[in-house]
A and B are shown apart, each in its own frame.
Chain A
Amino acid sequence: MTDEQTNTNSATDSEAGAEGPSKEHGVLYIGVDLGTSRTSISASNGVRETVASAVGYPKDVVAMKLLGKEVLYGDEAIKKRLSLNLYKPLEHGVLKSGDGEDSEGNLRAAKDLLQEAIRLAKARKDELVYAVIGAPAQASIHNKKAIIEAARESVDSVMLCSEPFAVAYGLDWLEDVLVIDIGAGTTDLCRMHGTMPEDADQITLTYAGDYLDQELFKAFQEACPGADFTINMVKEIKEKYAYVSGSSETITVNLPVSGKPTPFEVTEVVKNTCKKIIPPIVEALGKLVASFDPEFQERLKGRVLLAGGGSLIRGLDRAIEDGMHQKLGSGRVIRIEEPIYGGANGALKIAHDMPEEFWEKLK
């Protein structure tokens, strides 16, 4: 034995020896935010990951050989979409449905996406895994069942909860709060008053990220004559430059014209288009405030949480506040600190707080 070596505690050996396949070595909680554009997870082992909600399957044997995988996920799938049958299984906040092969493909993609998201949490085999999935408020029973079925294959017990509720719960704001969760497919507004939100407490709008992509696409067609671009290129520009109030440095984008990258100044186009989602949101906020107990309306207006990827639009909190002042006389909007992980963090907190017997009953 040298100076650099020390005898270890023998207790360690006995503990190591006890480790086996039984799930007795801990509990991993996972919070999942299943979104139209991105799916994010937060887990009680410190792992946090986000993946674009896209799943791709090689079109043929040659593509499979070239890609070396049977399924590709997220940005990798989007990048290699020409060799793939690409699915974005969520639309307007819910699983795409319909008849025929496409519906089956979307369902399979949703299952694969969810399992990939759970896999990203890096659960140990000897730990119990309990997951709470923030599902869109408007998801149908059929959709919810599909989500549960997909998750069950990877976890020991699973529950669903409404996404905006998860955001508020994660921040411990349970009473007299209005949550605006701007996703890609939908903007969900949810009123919290200490109990589970009912249908009357929730409004879902389709004025969200995808809507802005379409509007920006149309606006660019007018503002950038001769330019060739796709909806994906527009989305990238939006994610980089979107703003609605305050000053912005000049936004210049390079778009190909007859194959040659050509600069276009789009500062005002981006601002005016992004502003289009503000009136419907303020309108919906007005409805939720007006139908609330008049004694608490002022408090409610002062506690508006802005969450979701859409909340990253610069100046949006301020712009909604201005809209509320005009329409409702007052308003205070707080953007949550982590828009991408807000839903997943909240779902993780719900998973943590859920009593053991509830998890057991749903196993």
Chain B
Amino acid sequence: MARGIKKKIQQAVRKLSYRTTVDQLKKKGINRVNVVGIDRISALIETAVHRTLKARMALGFNPNLTHGEIANETRAEFLRLLRNKESLKKVQEETEEEKESLKSQVASLQNELQTLQREIEEKRQRFVREERVRTAAEDQELVLAVQELLGQAKLGAKGLDIQEELLSLFLGRLDEERKRVRAQKELELRKEVDLLNRRLQKVTKTLDHTEGRLQEALTGVTEDLGVSSIYKEVQGLSSQDPEFKKKKTLMTSIFEANLELQQKDS
């Protein structure tokens, strides 16, 4: 049954459409067109009719409602559905693009981080290696200089003790200074790595969020859209209502009681 209706809708839509070619459109100055499949149109019409009838039935059947009014409501529902589909597709495409862009950002940052970490490690090792060689040479030079200086002073047997004390003092101070410089350099390196780690975490979080949005768009769980009301405007009591006066009085009483209550509230 439902299949038959769908087929009839498709036939009707096809009958109402006209055939044209790309060249003919170009001649009219049209270079870009929006294209929608006939299946989608018929599905939207079907949904619009069902939703309108469902909403009507929920409010109780109104025998005063004309065919024209029902047709208008259905048309409005159809347009709303069409807009929903369009915005959903747009969100989907945007999210896909955003996701791809973020993915590449993450990959590039991960590469950057790895390269930097590798470089930093190499630098640190080289620095340690070179420092070891340099400090050994400097220490040797210092020892020789001290020995030479004390040799010239001709201090005799006492000279060896003084030489040892002096060397121990010099080398101790030198070592402390070297440690301070090394710590400072390591701190700078660590800051650089931390900064990169933070950037990476941020991008990864954004990627997770985007993937969530994409999933929502794909499954159609875009709760934000909600379900459209059948009313475009505020309604109010119809003057055609057989009990208009009585109902108007009741509405006024309810309003006044609420106004009093809410004024007390404020």
Contact = CB atoms under 8 A, between A and B. Distances in A.
Contact of B36 (A6, A124, A349): A6
Interface string A120-139: 00111101101000000000
Interface stretch (A26-34, A61-69, A283-291): A26-34
B217 interface: no
Contact of A160 (B35, B54, B258, B264): B258
Contacts of A353: 235-237, 241, 247, 251
A124 B226 CA distance: 4
B232 A45 contact: no
B127 interface: no
Chain A interface category by residue count: 35 or more
Contact of B229 (A7, A13, A29): A29
Interface in A11-65: 12-13, 15-16, 19, 25-29, 42-48
B141 interface: no
A141 B60 CA distance: 33
A26 B229 contact: yes
B65 to A, nearest CB: 14
Chain B interface category by residue count: 35 or more
Interface in A212-261: none
A354 interface: yes
B231 A6 contact: no
A46 B227 contact: yes
B250 A27 contact: no
Interface stretch (A142-150, A176-184, A269-277, A328-336): A142-150
Interface stretch (A98-106, A108-116, A309-317, A355-363): A355-363
Interface stretch (B80-88, B118-126, B182-190): B80-88
B87 A19 contact: yes
A16 B235 CA distance: 24
B165 interface: no
Contact of B227 (A12, A47, A174): A47
A8 B36 contact: yes
Contacts of B241: 353
A200 interface: no
B1 interface: no
B17 A7 contact: yes
Contact of A46 (B17, B51, B261): B51
B227 A354 contact: no
B254 A29 contact: no
Given A27-B231, A46-B230, A362-B258, A1 B22 contact: yes
A49 to B, nearest CB: 11
B228 A354 contact: no
Contact of A122 (B60, B87, B227, B254): B227
A1 B35 contact: yes
Interface in B40-85: 41, 51, 54-55, 58-60, 79, 82-83
B250 A196 contact: yes
A10 B233 CA distance: 24
B240 interface: no
A78 interface: no
B224 interface: yes
Given A4-B38, A26-B229, A124-B225, A145 B254 contact: no
A329 B36 CA distance: 69
Contacts of B58: 42, 46, 48
Contacts of B247: 174, 353
A148 B36 contact: no
16 contacts: A1-B35, A5-B35, A5-B36, A5-B38, A7-B33, A13-B34, A16-B83, A27-B234, A45-B230, A124-B229, A149-B265, A195-B249, A196-B254, A196-B257, A350-B251, A356-B234
Interface of B: 13-14, 17, 20, 22, 33-39, 41, 51, 54-55, 58-60, 79, 82-83, 86-87, 223-237, 241, 243, 246-255, 257-259, 261-262, 264-265
Q: Nearest 5 A-B pairs (CB), nearest first?
A: A124-B226, A46-B55, A28-B229, A196-B253, A356-B234
Interface of A: 1, 4-8, 10, 12-13, 15-16, 19, 25-29, 42-48, 122-125, 127-128, 130, 141, 144-145, 148-149, 159-161, 169, 172, 174-175, 194-196, 345, 348-350, 352-356, 358-359, 361-362
